[in-house]
């Protein structure tokens, strides 16, 4: 039996979870938790937000496309065109979460395309490709589990795709076991892939393509699109022109927080060492977010306070670090900052001030008019996208400088 010191040491040890495994585990959690919740939903005990679940699934598909280049038709190079497609799918998913009933048909059709033709294509590709089924069967061992995992996920994708195409399918008793079976298959595949990557590190994809954007910047892109869409949609919502799901908005934000924590150790309070303790809180964030997306209003009050506090603390801490890094410039160095760094500093300061203001508005009702909050969030989204652009410019400048003799 492990001592307390040994258990603590393991919890604080760096986690070995590749990004692909992280996204699959979150997807499996979505299906498993949704399947459990669908049991009381099918009996009329709990309400549900169908668009919240479908939008969440589309965002996960978009994450795979943007960060890994994994699509329903196989692995593709992360080109600018593919990045644009992934961003569009994410935008549809985000909007479906926010606005109940308005974009549900579009999300169901898109999910059907991703799951049914996509699942069948990937299943056929696995069996026909020399580098997959035949090679895996020949290697044996863990690769036989990879065959079972991939085959189960692809096959069940077709079943789930056929279910989600029909409105109100979540009330059907068959939906719950189907969702839980699919979730279990995804989690099983994720665990198998993790073991494969631990045994054969060279098998893991580098996740960098010709799109000129790294994975961490892809997450900034997703968060920027989230904030921009939220801000823009809040304007007609506050004018009474559109319905709005606060639970799904908070839930989706928590899931995005969770992916950042699980994949990079980036939390709303700043970056942390990606230990198993951080991973635990990442999964906790994901679970709360999934429940809030599927079951309307159940976690709105606690998550509003929680996210508000996180925004304020995160904004204050990051603002403090940004200002301290500026003040710590060596006294003997009189050379001015490059213009791009000045722009980066200004964008980060403004963004954190806006984040603090948004957090305060969540904690204090009617502190800021709803229309103004929409404008603030849209500005925050634009600042995030601008920040991503500046980081890409700085990265390119450093690459050119390093290559110059």
Instruction: Give pLDDT, residue 209.
Output: 47
Answer for the pair 16, 198: CB distance below 8 angstroms, yes or no.
yes
pLDDT of 16 reads 81
| Cα 348 to Cα 214: distance, rounded to the nearest angstrom | 19
Residues in the chain, pLDDT under 70: 1-12, 170, 203-212, 326-337, 402-405
CB-neighbour burial class of residue 193 (10 A; exposed 0-12, middle 13-18, buried 19+): buried
pLDDT at 182: 95
Ramachandran sector of residue 204 (left: φ over 0; alpha: ψ -120 to 50; beta: rest): beta
Q: What is the pLDDT of residue 395?
A: 78
What are the boundaries of each domain within the chain? 15-213+245-297, 301-403
Q: What is the pLDDT of residue 396?
A: 78
Q: What's residue 207's pLDDT?
A: 43
Q: Given this model, what pLDDT does residue 69 score?
A: 86
pLDDT for the residue numbered 2: 52
Specify the pLDDT at position 10. Answer: 65
User: Residue 202: enclosing H or E segment and its boundaries?
Assistant: none
Rounded to two decimals, the pTM is 0.89
Please give the pLDDT value at position 283: 94
For residues 332 and 400, give the distance between their C-alpha atoms in angstroms, rounded to a whole number: 27
Render pLDDT for 216-254 as a digit per residue (tens, 0 to 9).
888 888 889 999 998 999 889 988 888 988 899 999 999
Helix axes 50-68, 246-264, angle to 10 degrees: 30
């Amino acid at each position: 039996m492990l001592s307390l010191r040994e258990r603590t040491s393991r919890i604080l040890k760096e986690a070995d979870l590749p990004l692909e495994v992280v996204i699959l585990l979150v997807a499996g959690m979505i299906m498993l938790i949704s399947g459990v919740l669908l049991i009381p939903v099918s009996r009329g005990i709990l309400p549900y937000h169908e668009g919240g679940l479908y939008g969440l699934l589309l965002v996960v598909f978009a994450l795979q496309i943007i960060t890994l280049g994994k699509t329903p038709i196989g692995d593709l190079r992360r080109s600018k065109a593919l990045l644009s497609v992934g961003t569009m799918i994410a935008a549809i998913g985000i909007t479906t979460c926010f606005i109940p009933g308005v974009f549900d048909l579009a999300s169901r059709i898109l999910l059907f395309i991703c799951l049914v033709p996509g699942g069948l294509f990937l299943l056929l590709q696995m069996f026909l490709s020399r580098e997959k089924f035949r090679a895996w069967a020949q290697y044996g061992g863990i690769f036989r589990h990879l065959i079972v995992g991939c085959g189960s996920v692809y096959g069940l994708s077709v079943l789930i795709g056929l279910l989600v195409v029909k409105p109100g399918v979540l009330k059907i008793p068959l939906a719950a076991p189907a969702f839980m079976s699919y979730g279990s298959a995804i989690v099983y595949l994720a665990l198998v892939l993790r073991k494969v990557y631990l045994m054969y590190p060279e098998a893991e994809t580098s996740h960098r393509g010709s799109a000129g954007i790294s994975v961490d910047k892809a997450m900034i892109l997703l968060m920027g699109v989230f904030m921009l869409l939220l801000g823009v949609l809040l304007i007609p919502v506050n004018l009474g022109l559109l319905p709005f799901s606060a639970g799904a908005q908070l839930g989706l934000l928590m899931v995005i927080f969770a992916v950042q924590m699980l994949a990079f150790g980036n939390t709303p309070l700043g970056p942390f060492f990606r230990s198993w303790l951080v991973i635990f809180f990442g999964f906790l964030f994901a679970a709360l977010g999934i429940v809030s997306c599927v079951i309307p209003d159940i976690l709105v009050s606690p998550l509003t306070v929680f996210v508000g506090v996180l925004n304020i603390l995160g904004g204050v801490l990051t603002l403090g670090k940004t200002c301290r890094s500026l003040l710590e410039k060596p006294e003997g160095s009189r050379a001015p900052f490059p213009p791009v760094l000045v722009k980066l500093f200004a964008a980060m300061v403004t963004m954190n001030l806006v984040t603090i203001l948004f957090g305060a508005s969540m904690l204090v009702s009617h502190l800021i008019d709803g229309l103004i909050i929409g404008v603030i969030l849209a500005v925050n989204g634009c600042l995030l996208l601008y920040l991503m652009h500046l980081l890409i410019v700085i990265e390119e400048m450093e690459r050119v400088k390093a290559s110059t003799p």
